[in-house]
Structure 1
Amino acid sequence: MKLEDILQKYYGYETFREGQKELIEHVMNNQSALGILPTGGGKSICYQVPGIARGGLTLVISPLISLMKDQVDTLSAAGIPAAYLNSQQKAAEVRAVESDLKKGAYQFLYVAPERFEQNNFRYLLTQLDIRLIAFDEAHCISKWGHDFRPSYRQVVSRVMTIGAPCIAVTATATVDVRKDIQELLYISDDCVVETSIKRDNLDFKIDPTFQKDKMVRRYVKEHMKDSGIIYATTRKQVEALSEQFTDQNISHTIYHAGLSSEVREQNQTAFVNDNSPVMIATNAFGMGIDKSNVRYVIHYNLPQDLESYYQEAGRAGRDGLQSECILLYSEQDIRLQQFFIGNTPDEVIQERKKEKLEKMVQYTKTTQCLQGTLINYFNPEEHLEPCGRCTNCLMEAKYDMSVEAKKLMSCLIRIKTPVSRGILTKVIRGEQVSQEMSQLSTFGLMKDYETKDIHGFIDTLLFNGYLDEIDGKLHVHPSAKDVLMSDVKIMTHYHPVSYNERVTIHTLVNVDEDLFEHLKKVRKELSVEMNVPPFTIFSDRTLTLFAQKQPTTKQEMFHIEGVGSYKLKHYCPRFIEAIKSYQSTV
């Protein structure tokens, strides 16, 4: 049976999606292969179709019991005999599956990597006709992956003795993770198929709001008919949000590792079946959950890395309909992630995690397209274009950098060979690189600009698709002629600085000066009552934060710099009362 016939018969599709057939053909040619396809990109088909075509048994190594069950149910519903072995099965169930396996009753067997630690299972494998081995969620193999599982990595040496080709699939893999998987599974560069992580139906948004709770409650109430996931870093935060939702009569359920397996399964089922439209969870929830109608994913806290963020955010809109991915963050989130990283025993991995956290923080601060930033992180050589829907694309860029763009691209063209952004910056700033380059007409053309500003212009050109960066070298894209030969404008967020102008520096914005003065009077009254200097109660900076953020609960107060447990109890009620009183008069 042809591959397309299998696709049509069992899955109801007439054609393969991008990357699928290429990956399948590698496997059909007995070549081990790696597929990096976005969430919702049809990764399972990439090993199920060749598994059916090759005959015999396909052994699938999967990280989660829930994922195994979903896949086996889906295959069985399509008339494809499949089974799984996991730790939750009774001994009689295991024996029955093993007996059927020996009879050749199944085409697919799903197991967790820990199953290979059992001698009787390894002996069972020697009696089976295994013709393909699949690693689902393959990033779990790599020690550089965000969901690294040592058992996944340890099973590789045992699997390789079976003698069947391997296929590994994942939605998220950085360059380091990809190379690690390739080395472990002996996969050549020619057998790596990577499609863009770009998903045009996802709108990425960043909201640095201080009042996270209010924002989340408001958003969910405005989308009561939609299904969504809210991710929080800790179990405590999940429980706190759940209490608020209960008080507001918002239907929801929760998921974290502190719940029993029975409760987790019940809650997950309620969410998947649309009985509870909202799931509040830690990152323990989500891998392999094939719920297609999730309309929004909100991250209440900053994740530790972009891999985790993209995989979790990517659970929105798997049906292809427009969906939102919203990231909330605060400085406290960064400190919490730093604490977690500090407890990593392996120093090399700890340093790598610090680097990844820095990339995550940079994502919250970039002025470039958010989807483009994610694409650039996973595949630096992919041609970028602004999505036109994210927070940054919708934010008005006020500086016309068309002149700077023409200078930079003209300089790169005159150099005649691709160079790094560092070399381009030096040449256009007039810094000596080589005698040949110092003779260019564009040498020193932007000598009055800071290096960081030129890098910002280069980023804008990359993210607008006028430059490409391949192997660390810049190339002028054909679309650049629209800028060079016409009056096309390129806008950015650059602010030119005149070194002769006087600049008034404000450390905070949106501060209510009247409220600030009112809070100073309250502080003075307290200081007199307690016979202590005013600054020992709260500093001016803390009062400024009060005036800016206007907290009206102890929980909101506690998150402000300068507020400890003692001051929260003894001083804050007076300030909360003062803020509420002030708000009622304006």
Structure 2
Amino acid sequence: MDKILDILQKYYGYKTFRKGQEKIINSILSGEDVLAIMPTGGGKSLCYQIPALCMEGITIVISPLISLMKDQVDTLNTMGIEASYINSSLSVSDYNNVLKNILDNKCKILYIAPERLENIDFLNIIKNKNISQIAIDEAHCISQWGHDFRVSYKKIPYFINNLDNRPIVTAFTATASEEVRQDILKMLGLVNPKVYITGFDRENLYINIVKSSAKNKYLLEYIENHKSENGIIYAATRKEVEKIYEGLSKRDIGVLKYHGGMSNDDRKTSQDKFINDEVNIMVATNAFGMGIDKPDIRWVIHYNMPQSIENYYQEIGRAGRDGQKSECILLFSPVDVHTQKYLIDISTENISRKSIQYDKLQQMVDLVYSNSCYRKSILEYFGETVDVDCDNCSNCLSEGVIIDKTLDAQKVISCVFRMKRNFGIIMIVDVLRGSKNKKVLEAGFDKLSTYGIMKDYSNEELKNFINTLISHGFLDIRENPGARGSFPTVYLNKQSMRVLKGEIKVEFKEVKVAKESREKNELFEILSDLRRSIAANEKIAPYMVFGDATLISMANSYPTTEDEMLNISGVGQIKYQKYGRQFISVIEKYMSDKNIDKESINKNEAKSSKEDEQFFEVDTDKDLYELLKKLRAKFARKENLPYHMVMPKNTLKEISGRYPLELDQLNDISGMGPKKIEKYGQEIIDTVKQYVEQNDIKVEWKDKKRKKLILDGESRKPKEIALDLLNQGIDMRKVGNDLEVSVSTILGYVYDYIKEKNELHFKFDPTIYYCEDEKELIEESIKKHGEEKIREIKQSLPDYIKYESIRAVIIEKYIS
């Protein structure tokens, strides 16, 4: 363990491991095969690199990504680690040099593409070497269920099996459903593997899905607000990439492009400029980004909806790899669905593969239309049990103003109804705006009562409004393959008729584009310039010198000694020896020029960091909390709902400790969305106002925004609290009541805990949660669907079988 921590500090500059890394590394060093599912940016590469440095012999890393190989090898070489790569980008002389280094034992870690496993020259040299580990990156590529299936990955098991001495085999991926995990284990032939799922959550990423067609306007406004930040714009097609690139270039915005239609040299030039901070915006298809280990990407915008949740989560995972707050925005319009269907149709002739891709596309569409927490939906897709909303996505945060558009929606729906036949959006817009278009007049649409009733809208505004109605499910749009020109047409649905009859309202949130979140710091900019200069001299990417988070720490704490510098996360012994004195000199000069007293500055920084950090601390006012509980009980009785479904108790506690006195302030309270504010808001505000006046409390309201709520000093998640209480011997139903979650949810926590090979420290008898006749039915369904698919299992069973019974049967096999 000392050796591992020494390597971590010396080469990587970290004192502690991230979640799951230590267990994975220990398993590998114990000689066990490993499958690790870790989120993008979760530190997968470190999990096989540190064992590689600890073990005798060479580690071979198999990756499909040329860009990743160069990136990783450059980073390792910068840290003083002997690493090389072999792929199609190498010249003959460079390739021969790598082979010579392997022969001379001057290569500790070797990156190769899977296609290289068939090369005779390579096989002849490598078969006589001591291979300690074969690490397979992007392991999901071996599965047809995977979102990025590669035929070349099927060669890997043959290569491993033909080696004289089988090395440790490790497999890593960021996005893998249960089917994909089972495929990886089976097809790679992992021997008694340890499976680690460290969790998919990236808490620093704000997820924002904008259902609107005014994409161009949003994009321009966003870029204007984020000029100094690094960002990626993803588009579905090469044509769309070119269109966005040209539009931004014409406005003198520095931008790069990357897609499969460009030459290798042009793509490489674009990628290098982006990595080296020469230009900070990249517009690209999904061909760009896999393996790009640039840690300081502050935002990712999807101009079109991706084809699957796996694709989406992998692509947004390129933001904020340094752990700093970053934003992920999906600009959705219904046309995106048709584009992706077309791309699926032309991508494969394999019916089975096509069916899988269609299913994944529908799951992505379901996510977009979901009204619940986006992060929660994504994590549940990957099999994680989540019971609390994230308060860091656009569904959780009620940002923007709710506008009633019911009357305008009725005008549009009425027009579609009166036109009798189904037409495209352009024709509907022409009728509503009173166009003298020949086709409009020939069809007699100028005689309709809806002709010209929306002249106050511009052509583009009305088109955007109709697309927004479609996005929210108030109208349908369908392809018409048999129609001339094969254009999509607009249809009415059940929701349309409910709007027309006034049964439901049409309310849209007016989207506000966020401002750049990073505060400017003069010393940070000076240190960035030094980093850029060093990187240019060494011909490496700036972040390979130090990441943004490391520079921010330097700029805030002013390290001027070796010990202080080594105390900065990201500064290891090797990097200090190479760069430390240069950065200290710059910091000392800055402090001298600005007449800065470090001791007083550090005191102020410590104080302000508590206020301005990512945390927002609230203490419950117990008396007000009791009043709010009674109010909640009244709401629950009126609607015949369980208390927690009206409002969780933590929402009541937060209200009691923050004293909101205006309806708008409830938007900043966790668990209070627009509908709840509309239903309960005024009575809550009245109760708080009365309490504040009676107790003569002076209220100073502060916005929480995206900071993490710490309630009564408790920063743990419900899962962690529940397991702690259970370990203390508290009854499971009491724990559920205290946390206001179901027994099924608590059992889900227990399942996650024991599946990670942890031991239970409390007595647990699963048989009390099911009858024997239920057990047989449940076990049959588990065999059919797999234990991760709780929802499918429940749907296949009789209604009387509860979720808690299913979870208990699953848990029993782990503890029996």
TM-score (norm 1): 0.71
Give the whole-Å Cα distance in 2 for the aligned partners of 1:207 and 1:181. 35
Please report how far the alpha carbon of residue 103 of structure 1 lies from its aligned counterpart in structure 2 after TM superposition. Answer: 1.7
Do the aligned partners of residues 15 and 533 (structure 1) sit closer, same or farther apart at CA in structure 2, a change above 3 Å counting?
closer
1:369 lines up with 2:373 in the alignment? yes
What is the DSSP-based 3-state SS (H/G/I as helix, E as strand, rest coil) of the residue aligned with 1:393? coil
What is the DSSP-based 3-state SS (H/G/I as helix, E as strand, rest coil) of the residue aligned with 2:172? strand
Please report how far the alpha carbon of residue 154 of structure 1 lies from its aligned counterpart in structure 2 after TM superposition. Answer: 2.2
Structure 1 match to 2:57 = 56
Structure 2 match to 1:113 = 114
Structure 1 match to 2:185 = 182
Q: What CA deviation, in whole Å up to 9, does each residue of 1:73-98 have, x standing for no partner? A: 11111111111111122222222221
Q: What CA deviation, in whole Å up to 9, does each residue of 1:378-406 have, x standing for no partner? A: 124x333211121111239xxxxxxxxxx
Q: Is the 8 A contact 2:434 2:451 kept in 1?
A: no
Structure 1 match to 2:383 = 379
Give the whole-Å Cα distance in 2 for the aligned partners of 1:86 and 1:232. 27
Do the aligned partners of residues 121 and 522 (structure 1) sit closer, same or farther apart at CA in structure 2, a change above 3 Å counting?
closer
Structure 2 match to 1:358 = 362
What is the DSSP-based 3-state SS (H/G/I as helix, E as strand, rest coil) of the residue aligned with 1:151? helix
1:3 lines up with 2:4 in the alignment? yes
Q: Mean Cα displacement is larger for which, 296-305 or 88-97?
A: 88-97
Look up the equivalent residue of 1:140 and give its one-letter code: C
In the TM superposition, 1:17-56 aligns within 5 A as 17-56=18-57
Q: Mean Cα displacement is larger for which, 181-190 or 208-217?
A: 181-190
Look up the equivalent residue of 1:36 and give its one-letter code: I
In the TM superposition, 1:488-507 aligns within 5 A as none
Q: What CA deviation, in whole Å up to 9, does each residue of 1:438-471 have, x standing for no partner? A: xxxxxxxxxxxxxxxxxxxxxxxxxxxxxxxxxx
Structure 2 match to 1:534 = 444
Please report how far the alpha carbon of residue 40 of structure 1 lies from its aligned counterpart in structure 2 after TM superposition. Answer: 1.5
Structure 1 match to 2:630 = none
Give the whole-Å Cα distance in 2 for the aligned partners of 1:324 and 1:351. 32
Please report how far the alpha carbon of residue 2 of structure 1 lies from its aligned counterpart in structure 2 after TM superposition. Answer: 2.1
Structure 2 match to 1:289 = 292
Give the whole-Å Cα distance in 1 for the aligned partners of 2:305 and 2:60. 36
1:334 lines up with 2:337 in the alignment? yes
Please report how far the alpha carbon of residue 339 of structure 1 lies from its aligned counterpart in structure 2 after TM superposition. Answer: 1.7
Do the aligned partners of residues 82 and 205 (structure 1) sit closer, same or farther apart at CA in structure 2, a change above 3 Å counting?
same
1:73 lines up with 2:74 in the alignment? yes
Please report how far the alpha carbon of residue 155 of structure 1 lies from its aligned counterpart in structure 2 after TM superposition. Answer: 2.4
Q: Is the 8 A contact 1:83 1:109 kept in 2?
A: yes
Structure 2 match to 1:501 = none
Q: What CA deviation, in whole Å up to 9, does each residue of 1:473-525 have, x standing for no partner? A: xxxxxxxxxxxxxxxxxxxxxxxxxxxxxxxx9893696999x9996597474
Q: What CA deviation, in whole Å up to 9, does each residue of 1:106-135 have, x standing for no partner? A: 111111011112122222221211111011
Give the whole-Å Cα distance in 2 for the aligned partners of 1:361 and 1:124. 49
Aligned with residue 508 of structure 1, among 385, 400, 409: 409
Q: Is the 8 A contact 1:23 1:193 kept in 2?
A: yes
Aligned with residue 195 of structure 1, among 187, 198, 204: 198
Q: What CA deviation, in whole Å up to 9, does each residue of 1:563-582 have, x standing for no partner? A: 9999x9xxxxxxxxxxxxxx
Give the whole-Å Cα distance in 1 for the aligned partners of 2:372 and 2:467. 33
Q: Is the 8 A contact 2:206 2:327 kept in 1?
A: yes
Q: Mean Cα displacement is larger for which, 98-107 or 237-246?
A: 98-107
Q: Is the 8 A contact 2:430 2:437 kept in 1?
A: no
* Unaligned stretches of 5+ residues in structure 2: 400-405, 416-426, 471-476, 488-816
Give the whole-Å Cα distance in 2 for the aligned partners of 1:376 and 1:251. 38
Do the aligned partners of residues 562 and 96 (structure 1) sit closer, same or farther apart at CA in structure 2, a change above 3 Å counting?
closer
Q: What CA deviation, in whole Å up to 9, does each residue of 1:152-209 have, x standing for no partner? A: 1222221233310111111111111111111122336760111111122111011111
Give the whole-Å Cα distance in 1 for the aligned partners of 2:364 and 2:429. 39
Give the whole-Å Cα distance in 2 for the aligned partners of 1:522 and 1:168. 58
1:143 lines up with 2:144 in the alignment? yes
Q: Is the 8 A contact 2:115 2:152 kept in 1?
A: yes
Please report how far the alpha carbon of residue 294 of structure 1 lies from its aligned counterpart in structure 2 after TM superposition. Answer: 1.1
Please report how far the alpha carbon of residue 255 of structure 1 lies from its aligned counterpart in structure 2 after TM superposition. Answer: 0.5
Look up the equivalent residue of 1:156 and give its one-letter code: P
Percent identity, please.
Answer: 40
Do the aligned partners of residues 115 and 263 (structure 1) sit closer, same or farther apart at CA in structure 2, a change above 3 Å counting?
same
Q: Is the 8 A contact 1:542 1:562 kept in 2?
A: no
In the TM superposition, 1:332-481 aligns within 5 A as 332-343=335-346, 344-380=348-384, 382-395=385-398
Structure 2 match to 1:427 = none
Give the whole-Å Cα distance in 2 for the aligned partners of 1:551 and 1:346. 40
Look up the equivalent residue of 2:373 and give its one-letter code: C
Do the aligned partners of residues 128 and 250 (structure 1) sit closer, same or farther apart at CA in structure 2, a change above 3 Å counting?
same
Structure 1 match to 2:275 = 272
Structure 1 match to 2:661 = none
1:551 lines up with 2:551 in the alignment? no
Structure 1 match to 2:608 = none
Do the aligned partners of residues 510 and 548 (structure 1) sit closer, same or farther apart at CA in structure 2, a change above 3 Å counting?
farther
What is the DSSP-based 3-state SS (H/G/I as helix, E as strand, rest coil) of the residue aligned with 2:218? helix
Give the whole-Å Cα distance in 2 for the aligned partners of 1:375 and 1:31. 28
Give the whole-Å Cα distance in 1 for the aligned partners of 2:234 and 2:396. 25
Give the whole-Å Cα distance in 2 for the aligned partners of 1:2 and 1:236. 52
Look up the equivalent residue of 2:387 and give its one-letter code: L
Structure 2 match to 1:221 = 224
What is the DSSP-based 3-state SS (H/G/I as helix, E as strand, rest coil) of the residue aligned with 2:442? coil
1:310 lines up with 2:313 in the alignment? yes
Do the aligned partners of residues 544 and 88 (structure 1) sit closer, same or farther apart at CA in structure 2, a change above 3 Å counting?
farther
Q: Is the 8 A contact 1:32 1:185 kept in 2?
A: no
Do the aligned partners of residues 49 and 223 (structure 1) sit closer, same or farther apart at CA in structure 2, a change above 3 Å counting?
same
Do the aligned partners of residues 304 and 41 (structure 1) sit closer, same or farther apart at CA in structure 2, a change above 3 Å counting?
same
What is the DSSP-based 3-state SS (H/G/I as helix, E as strand, rest coil) of the residue aligned with 1:319? coil
Look up the equivalent residue of 1:377 and give its one-letter code: Y
What is the DSSP-based 3-state SS (H/G/I as helix, E as strand, rest coil) of the residue aligned with 1:169? strand
Q: How many residues align?
A: 458
Give the whole-Å Cα distance in 1 for the aligned partners of 2:191 and 2:121. 33
What is the DSSP-based 3-state SS (H/G/I as helix, E as strand, rest coil) of the residue aligned with 1:298? strand
Q: Give the CA RMSD over aligned residues.
A: 3.7
Give the whole-Å Cα distance in 2 for the aligned partners of 1:541 and 1:160. 72
Give the whole-Å Cα distance in 2 for the aligned partners of 1:34 and 1:317. 24
What is the DSSP-based 3-state SS (H/G/I as helix, E as strand, rest coil) of the residue aligned with 1:123? helix
Structure 2 match to 1:246 = 249
Q: Is the 8 A contact 2:208 2:328 kept in 1?
A: yes
Q: Mean Cα displacement is larger for which, 111-120 or 538-547?
A: 538-547
Look up the equivalent residue of 2:81 and give its one-letter code: I
Do the aligned partners of residues 113 and 517 (structure 1) sit closer, same or farther apart at CA in structure 2, a change above 3 Å counting?
closer
Do the aligned partners of residues 96 and 524 (structure 1) sit closer, same or farther apart at CA in structure 2, a change above 3 Å counting?
closer
Do the aligned partners of residues 509 and 174 (structure 1) sit closer, same or farther apart at CA in structure 2, a change above 3 Å counting?
farther
Do the aligned partners of residues 558 and 35 (structure 1) sit closer, same or farther apart at CA in structure 2, a change above 3 Å counting?
closer
What is the DSSP-based 3-state SS (H/G/I as helix, E as strand, rest coil) of the residue aligned with 2:396? helix
What is the DSSP-based 3-state SS (H/G/I as helix, E as strand, rest coil) of the residue aligned with 1:132? strand
Q: What CA deviation, in whole Å up to 9, does each residue of 1:302-331 have, x standing for no partner? A: 110000000101111111111111111122
Please report how far the alpha carbon of residue 340 of structure 1 lies from its aligned counterpart in structure 2 after TM superposition. Answer: 2.0
What is the DSSP-based 3-state SS (H/G/I as helix, E as strand, rest coil) of the residue aligned with 2:253? coil
1:258 lines up with 2:261 in the alignment? yes
What is the DSSP-based 3-state SS (H/G/I as helix, E as strand, rest coil) of the residue aligned with 1:551? helix
Do the aligned partners of residues 562 and 166 (structure 1) sit closer, same or farther apart at CA in structure 2, a change above 3 Å counting?
closer
Give the whole-Å Cα distance in 2 for the aligned partners of 1:291 and 1:232. 20
Look up the equivalent residue of 1:376 and give its one-letter code: E
Give the whole-Å Cα distance in 1 for the aligned partners of 2:449 and 2:131. 71
What is the DSSP-based 3-state SS (H/G/I as helix, E as strand, rest coil) of the residue aligned with 1:392? coil
Structure 2 match to 1:324 = 327
